[in-house]
Amino acid sequence: MPRTTILLGVVLVAVGVVGWLAAGMSSWTALIPAVLGVVLAVCGLLGRSNPKVWIHAALVVALLGALGTIRNVLGLADLASGDAERPLAVVAGTITFVLLVAYLVLGIRSFVAVRRERRQQVSG
C-alpha cells in the first residue's frame, strides 16, 4: 500500500497542476487535488517504515477528500447538458473522487487481507 499511496499522490498532484494550468493559473482551488496528493505521497513515504499508522492516515485523508469532492461529481449532469458553471472543477473533482474511492477500496481490501492472514496464523 505505501507504493500505491505514493503513486496516487503523484497522480493527484498532476490532476491539480493540470487543472490549475487549464484554469489559467487563476484558481487556487484547482490545486486542491495537488494538496491532497502531496499529503498522500508523504503518508506513503512514511508508510514504508510504519504502514499501520500512515496508511490508515492516508485512508482518512482519502475519505475526507472523497467526501469533499462529491459536490463536483453531482455536477456531472450539468456538465453533460452544458450548464456547468465551472466545468474544469467538475472534471477535476470527479477524477479526484474516482481515484480516492478506488484507493479506499484497495486500502480496505488490503487491511482485510492482512487481518485474515493473521487469523490463519493464529489458528493454524
Burial (CB count <10 Å: 0-12, 13-18, 19+), residue 119: exposed
Domain boundaries, the chain: 2-123
> What is the rounded distance in angstroms from the CA atom of residue 39 to the CA atom of residue 43?
6
pLDDT at 116: 87
For helices 2-22 and 32-47, the axis angle rounded to 10 degrees is 160
Number of C-beta neighbours around residue 15 at 10 A? 23
> What is the rounded distance in angstroms from the CA atom of residue 1 to the CA atom of residue 51?
8
Looking at residue 8, its amino acid is L
Taking the model in full, what pTM does it have? 0.86
Residues 92-106 have a mean pLDDT of: 96
More confident residue, 111 or 5: 5
What is the per-residue pLDDT across 81-98, written as a single tens digit (0 to 9) for each? 888 788 788 899 999 999
What is the per-residue pLDDT across 5-53, written as a single tens digit (0 to 9) for each? 999 999 999 999 999 999 888 888 889 999 999 999 999 999 999 988 9
> What is the rounded distance in angstroms from the CA atom of residue 124 to the CA atom of residue 122?
6
